Amino acid sequence: MGNIAAGGPSLPQERRLVTEIPGPRSRQLTARRGSAVARGVSSTLPVYVDRAGGGVVVDVDGNSLIDFGSGIAVVSVGNAAPAVVEAVSDQVAAFTHTCFMVAPYEGYVAVCEQLARLTPGAHEKRSALFNSGAEAVENTVKIARAHTGRQAVVAFEHAYHGRTNLTMALTAKNMPYKQSFGPFASDVYRMPMAYPFRWPTGPERCGEEAAAQVISAIESQIGGSNVAAIVIEPIQGEGGFIVPGEGFLPALAEYARRSGIVFVADEVQTGFARTGAWFACEHEGVVPDLIATAKGIAGGLPLSAVTGRAEIMDSVHVGGLGGTYGGNPIACAAALATIATIEDQDLVGAARQVEATMLPRLRALQERFPGIGDVRGRGAMLAVELVKPGTKEPDAGVTQDVAKACHARGLLVLTAGTYGNVLRFLPPLVMPQHLLEEGLDVLEQAFAGLGTSQPEAPSTVISTPA
């Protein structure tokens, strides 16, 4: 590997701060970036990364941070996971690209076979591979329209499906995703979401009532026979880790089946073991017609997929699907190694173990801090929603304060939510237990420090044993 410093799980698994966050070398890079990188591309935590692996990210100043983000649910198998590194190295030395549409190769076929085996449902399946989550979701709509001969697409409040023109139309939140970028694709209809914490009659009735509202609105406002697809995240990601009220997904899937509508699960964030199942639809026994995957699929290499019923997928004419890089051989090699790693290391079980560790501690934290209105999620996709105590009024300010305090103490956390008031936790599934616990300690300290007007002393230098 020449003089490239190795990352991966052999990196010391410790939280270690040797400078303030961000440190001087990161601040230099931030200054350089300002005159080269477009302002529209932002970073949650501007520490520049040198290496990463297991449960840590090491920056250019030598700080080792606990990673509760996984690059947004991507490196579930860990950064520079050994099997991924080996598979990618072998593939990159053999050939880097021919374009599957020009001269195909086995890796693409093998990934499609794995997707057929792993995704919900025993029916005959086909897959097509792309580069990004948005591209996969966009293709689910193309395929559903080709199959049904219909045009309307149903999406939901708080949805996030990407940043291309069609997926912006599907995405709910204006700032920062849509503001000033219109006009948007037409024939997209937004429906209420079964959001248990904010459902007027309470969480128990949320799923059933929301499904009835959605079905009634589709029938009266669009007409079920005009709808090509219902597109939904089985747990909403950017929208705030909203686990739909129980029964909502099965009711919509059943309505779609009755009405000849293609039921599309956007499992871009929830897929590949993240929620303690291979796919989040499994938690309620829902079998989607089409499923979009990306993020966790390939250990950090860009790859996405649409997998679905053979008769729907194959309704598209020859040549109708594709793209220059879709299913790139290096990304396919990474995906095969990622899938093998998830199985060999039982990372589905590991995600459940993350839930077993984190949920009780987050609930205990909620007892102490009345600003934590809700604790939710599944597996290693967990979140707390912050509100003004005693109300459901979102508190984005405190959310930012806690995130900043975590960052200053060496814990990388992300925020989310339509109202910017959700702290979300997405640790790599290979996160060592001691780091998971320590990350929770840091989170507790960040909450405990709230309102003490003692923002994290930026010069704190701590060191913990591996």
Ligand X SMILES: *Cc1c(COP(=O)(O)O)cnc(C)c1O
Which residues of this chain interact with ligand X, rule CB under 6 A? 132-134, 137, 160-162, 233, 237-238, 266, 268-269, 294
CB of 41 to ligand X, least distance (A): 12
> Which two three-digit tokens encode residue 68?
């509760």
How far apart are alpha carbons 118 and 101 in whole angstroms? 25
CB of 117 to ligand X, least distance (A): 22
CB of 272 to ligand X, least distance (A): 12
CB of 304 to ligand X, least distance (A): 6
CB of 319 to ligand X, least distance (A): 24
User: Which residue has tokens 């979701």?
Assistant: 137
Burial annotation 6-26 (CB, 10 A radius, 16+ → b, else e)? ebbbebebbbbbebbbbbebb
Strand segments (E) across 88-182: 125-130, 152-156
Q: Which is nearer to ligand X, 9 or 237 (CB)?
A: 237
Alpha helices in 127-234 (DSSP H): 133-148, 165-170, 203-217
Residue nearest to ligand X (CB): 133
Q: Which is nearer to ligand X, 163 or 434 (CB)?
A: 163
**Category of 173 on φ-ψ map: left (φ > 0), alpha (ψ -120 to 50) or beta:** beta
Please, which residues bridge with residue 49 across strands?
Answer: 59
451, 374, 336, 342: which is closest to 87 by C-alpha? 336
SS3 89: helix
Q: Which is nearer to ligand X, 171 or 399 (CB)?
A: 171
Q: Which is nearer to ligand X, 11 or 297 (CB)?
A: 297
Q: Which is nearer to ligand X, 154 or 435 (CB)?
A: 154
How far apart are alpha carbons 394 and 280 in whole angstroms? 27
Q: Which is nearer to ligand X, 9 or 417 (CB)?
A: 417
CB of 149 to ligand X, least distance (A): 26
Q: What is the enclosing helix (H) or strand (E) of 58?
A: strand 56-59
CB of 331 to ligand X, least distance (A): 12
SS3 346: coil
Q: Which is nearer to ligand X, 137 or 362 (CB)?
A: 137
Neighbours of 180 (CB within 10 A): 7
